[in-house]
A and B are shown apart, each in its own frame.
Chain A
């Protein structure tokens, strides 16, 4: 029996299997461990590119506008995402400030940047092999980009502070909510296998020469 498509190993259990040609909107799961090995979107480059561009704009808004404001006894205060990290730094919690800045600003920002560069570069194949490096960086940033955790954190802080003073949500908070939706949409519509298909091989330098 012959199988069309390519042979792959499941990244989670290493089982060798034939990956069938997938139709748009379908997924392939490993028969042994159940891991999703591949999924096929109808527009694997253009749709994520549009979403990433939107995410870049929303990211800038989320980081420059106030998340929430507070009014108490005639005084008003508000904070932004960088403002939060900066206040932690000022209060002497430097390491925590860096972790917050990384998960809230640097990781999502770099993810957007690397994805944008990758998607633009593979629009006209073949793309040079360093594009693969960009995709690898985007991949390594992804687990540390925590917009969805942050939005919940902002909401909990909002409820806690509401006990003490009047708080009102700011534009930044809605922007973070928008980012959560956009990041999810990018992950659903993007197919990294399509990118690898369009990238030139680095070839066998260092493979046979030893």
Chain B
């Protein structure tokens, strides 16, 4: 790109997040609504950093009980077994289906943790006004957005296991309290990714250019 490359915000234009129409707001403080689709115009997502931090912290807190508390309680002829997320992975591994064990391990343990670390890193780097590796950071954000939903895997596994194995009094499976916290982690991190504005990654560069 040439030195004349400019962002919409620098040019006094705001891009509609719904229909992508560029508008020149009459008042910068109150951009108003998109003339084509009627969506509320915003220079950047509202309180992006604060909201994203709040959601990341809430998700990090839920991540602990999600991994410690059992997600499934299996009752076989009177005796009850409790399984945590990691217990479920170990069970899949010992019964010989290691590819599935690996998928569940990635989707349920590594993806949520990776998302929390990635979002925290993006937030801190934006807050410190970093202009390093903007392209890679945007790519990281895109990755978080795309793979985040896959963490819901374990919630579906637990739901259908519970729904199918109701053979009282022989054998039955009940959901444990961990499922709720786990589902909360997934939902909170997904909303966190949606409230983060990737354009903030690039804004520091424009601010420095403006200062020079």
Given contacts A163-B95, A203-B35, contact A157 B164 (CB under 8 A): yes
Chain B residue, CB-CB nearest to A88: B159
Given contacts A75-B167, A152-B103, contact A160 B92 (CB under 8 A): yes
Q: Which residues from chain B contact A26 at a C-beta distance below 8 Å? A: none
A-side interface residues, number (CB < 8 Å): 73
Question: A83-96 interface mask toward B, CB cutoff 8 Å, 1 = contact, 0 = none?
Answer: 11111100111011
Task: Check B167 against A149 for contact (C-beta < 8 Å).
Answer: no
Question: A4-33 interface mask toward B, CB cutoff 8 Å, 1 = contact, 0 = none?
Answer: 000111011111100000000000000111
Minimum distance in angstroms from B154 CB to a CB of chain A: 8
Given contacts A9-B13, A13-B199, A78-B164, contact A91 B138 (CB under 8 A): no
Is B179 among interface residues, defined by CB-CB distance under 8 A? yes
Question: B1-33 interface mask toward A, CB cutoff 8 Å, 1 = contact, 0 = none?
Answer: 100011111010101011111100011001011
Question: B125-163 interface mask toward A, CB cutoff 8 Å, 1 = contact, 0 = none?
Answer: 000000000110011011001000110111111011111
Chain A's interface: helix, strand, loop or mixed, by majority?
mixed
Is B63 among interface residues, defined by CB-CB distance under 8 A? no
Name A33's contact: one of B11, B20, B22, B134 (CB within 8 Å): B134
Q: Which residues from chain A contact B145 at a C-beta distance below 8 Å? A: 143
Q: Which residue among A31, A103, A152, A156 has the maximum number of chain B CB atoms within 10 Å of its CB?
A: A156
Tell which of B36-44, B48-56, B112-120 binds the partner: B36-44
Is A146 among interface residues, defined by CB-CB distance under 8 A? yes
Task: Check A15 against B36 for contact (C-beta < 8 Å).
Answer: no
Task: Report Cα–Cα, A139/B39, bound state, in Å.
Answer: 13
B-side interface residues, number (CB < 8 Å): 74
Chain B residue, CB-CB nearest to A132: B37
Task: Check A33 against B160 for contact (C-beta < 8 Å).
Answer: no
Given contacts A16-B11, A87-B162, contact A96 B180 (CB under 8 A): yes
Chain B residue, CB-CB nearest to A204: B35
Is B61 among interface residues, defined by CB-CB distance under 8 A? no
Question: A118-152 interface mask toward B, CB cutoff 8 Å, 1 = contact, 0 = none?
Answer: 00000000000100110010010001101001101
Q: Which residues of A in the span 57-87 have a Cβ within 8 Å of any Cβ on B?
A: 67-68, 70, 72-73, 75, 77-79, 83-87
Which residue numbers of B lie inside 8 Å of A, CB to CB?
A: 1, 5-9, 11, 13, 15, 17-22, 26-27, 30, 32-39, 88, 91-92, 95, 97, 100, 103-104, 134-135, 138-139, 141-142, 145, 149-150, 152-157, 159-167, 170-171, 174-175, 179-180, 183-184, 187, 190, 194, 198-199, 201-203
4 additional contacts, CB 8 Å, given A12-B199, A95-B183, A153-B160?
Answer: A11-B15, A12-B198, A87-B166, A207-B26
